[in-house]
Structure 1
Amino acid sequence: MDLRRFVTFKTVVEEGTFAQAARKLCCTQSTVTFQIQQLEQELSYPVFEKVGRRMVLTPAGKRLLPRVRELTRVLEEIRQISSREEEVAGDLRVMVGETLLAYKMPEVLKLFRIKAPKVRLSLQSVNCYAIRDSLLADDIDLGVFYRVGHDDALHMEFFGKQELVLVTSPLLQNIDFTHTDQHIPVNFIINEPQCVFRQLFESTLRERKITLDSTIELWSIESIKKCVASNLGVSFLPRFAVLRELESGELREIPFATVPLSITALCAHHAGRTASPAMKTFIECMRQCLS
């Protein structure tokens, strides 16, 4: 098989149309069409179908895509063999949980830029379940998130348990979350329903039969902290995310559990994938900055 046809296939997927793929590959649209036709002939099944103006993967094409991505990564590694060892290059797609990205990753990213300046880094902040799903689907190279399952299909490297704390404004007094069977007249300020520490907090409230006035959903952790400091409600966040505000007195920690609840931070990639030089460098930067 001609490996260029697989590169063309991957480019059409990324660009959405044959015309846009041709522009990226610096060739004619008829060349792209011919290469896809030849690929489908060799495979004996169609990989694309046209929906409107876009080319959409067939079910067989969807199953093929992860293998093609792995193949192109191997080709990239082969090209790098003749390069100097310290010159790590290529693409690296990383998804990171928001609190980790905001408070733990800046030093990691700074060091990675120094060690791998030629790597084209694609960075996205999404929730932990979406990161795990993308890793299992082999759609990204690395995920930095909180553990949300026990997936054997992932290779995980752990970076410690992160303690969670219940915080409020110093103005809010006389509330106690340790007693069961009660309604507490405050708002819970947090982000989306799939937030790991939100789920842990809400499940604990259900166990204790505690109800609150309402839930205010905000995307930004900084916005959540400002609203809590303004006495609009309480929040349940990793201690490292509110450490500065606790030390300054802007926020106050209140008791929630005898043994502090925690979540585990990790970096993972698909277990069936060979770690590229860029992936190895990124993980090493995490070890240096977070261990």
Structure 2
Amino acid sequence: MDLKELTAFQTILQEGSFAKAAAKLNYAQSTITNQIQRLEKELGFQLFDRGWEAELTPAGQIYAAEVERLIQHWHYASDQAKAIAREETGTLRIGLLEMLARQIMPEALWRFREEKPQIACHFVIGNTDLIAGELRRKQLDFAICGEPPDLSGLRFEPLHEERIVFAAAKDHPLHQRGGGRLPFQELLPYPMVVGGPTCLYYLHLSRQLARFDSMPILHSVNQISAIPGFAARSPFIGVVLASTPLPDGVLPLAVDWEEHKIPIGLLERRDTAYPSAARKRLIGIIKEVWFNEA
């Protein structure tokens, strides 16, 4: 068997018929049929009940469960051969939170290029919800982001913890109050600028707010790095992550509340059994840079 035969078989499963698989692969239908016939001859059993639709035989159903792993292993072996020859080419697609794109990835990409100059990187910047969706749709090879609420089909490796910070202009009444840490309820009369509902900290903040009778007016911004700009104008309070840079004149508030740590880490699909050498090396470099920064 060869990779074309396995790919033809997998595409038939995905598309539901020989004709649709042929169209997707830009083959004549007879080519797909011949590839499956060769595969069946090599295996020694029939994979499909012939008909208008591609119905698997019982033996074909068992074999289908192993095809994805076989194809991944085939690509892995090919990638390893390229690595040995130092002729690696291709593109890695990485999902990132905005703060990582700014703080970690420039250094990590510089180091990665020193080792693998022929590998291009395509970065998708977004929140955890968006990144997890792209990963599930196989639009990304891996991601460094928060831990999504739904981890079905995904694997998360924590690398770091983020804190939630409340920030306001230095002339804000709460900065003028003096004394020790502010009770959380003293923030409630002031409008807050927060990330959107899919933001890392939104659920934690919502739970905290739900404990009080009164609620602040919440203005949402889907890009956390933009929030400090709103907080520069009193009476707004910006709710950001500790890694978010604050402009001159915007200072964190010392707040007494049930603080939550938010895990940030490596997010991958569980069906990726054989990661490429280039992908493994980039992940390793990201971890090295991150722990050195810490």
Please give the TM-score of this superposition, normalised by the length of structure 1. 0.69
Distance in 2 between residues matched to 1:168 and 1:66, nearest whole Å: 55
Offset, 1:193: 0.9
SS in 1 for 2:215: strand
Partner of 1:4: 4
1:30 aligns with 2:33: no
Residue type of the alignment partner of 2:124: Q
Alignment of 1:69-218 (within 5 A): 71-85=70-84, 87-133=87-133, 135=135, 140-149=140-149, 151=151, 154-174=154-174, 178-180=183-185, 183-186=188-191, 188-215=192-219, 217-218=220-221
Aligned-residue Cα RMSD (Å) equals: 4.1
Distance in 1 between residues matched to 2:7 and 2:168, nearest whole Å: 53
Cα pair distance change 1:149/1:168, threshold 3 Å: same
Partner of 2:224: 221
Distance in 2 between residues matched to 1:171 and 1:141, nearest whole Å: 46
Which structure has the larger Rg over C-alpha atoms?
Answer: 2
Cα pair distance change 1:227/1:71, threshold 3 Å: farther
Offset, 1:198: 2.3
Q: Where does the alignment leave 5 or more consecutive residues of structure 2 unmatched?
A: 15-19, 41-45, 54-62
Cα pair distance change 1:250/1:181, threshold 3 Å: closer
Deviation digits for residues 154-205 of structure 1, max 9, x if unmatched? 444332212221112223213896244984131x223321101122222211
Distance in 2 between residues matched to 1:122 and 1:69, nearest whole Å: 24
Sequence identity of aligned pairs in percent? 16
CA contact (8 A) 1:88 1:277 kept: no
Distance in 2 between residues matched to 1:189 and 1:39, nearest whole Å: 58
Partner of 1:55: none
Distance in 1 between residues matched to 2:96 and 2:67, nearest whole Å: 24
Cα pair distance change 1:151/1:266, threshold 3 Å: same
Distance in 2 between residues matched to 1:101 and 1:36, nearest whole Å: 47
Distance in 1 between residues matched to 2:251 and 2:49, nearest whole Å: 62
Distance in 2 between residues matched to 1:158 and 1:121, nearest whole Å: 23
Partner of 2:263: 264
Offset, 1:18: 6.7
Alignment of 1:54-73 (within 5 A): 71-73=70-72
Please give the TM-score of this superposition, normalised by the length of structure 2. 0.69
Q: Where does the alignment leave 5 or more consecutive residues of structure 1 unmatched?
A: 23-28, 50-63
Deviation digits for residues 198-243 of structure 1, max 9, x if unmatched? 222222111244411232x33333332222223472222121112x
Offset, 1:144: 0.8
Cα pair distance change 1:250/1:39, threshold 3 Å: farther
CA contact (8 A) 2:196 2:222 kept: yes
Distance in 2 between residues matched to 1:92 and 1:21, nearest whole Å: 23
Cα pair distance change 1:120/1:203, threshold 3 Å: same
| Higher deviation after alignment, 71-80 or 146-155 | 146-155
Offset, 1:282: 1.5
Offset, 1:68: 6.3
Tell me how many residue pairs correspond in the alignment: 262
Distance in 2 between residues matched to 1:65 and 1:167, nearest whole Å: 54
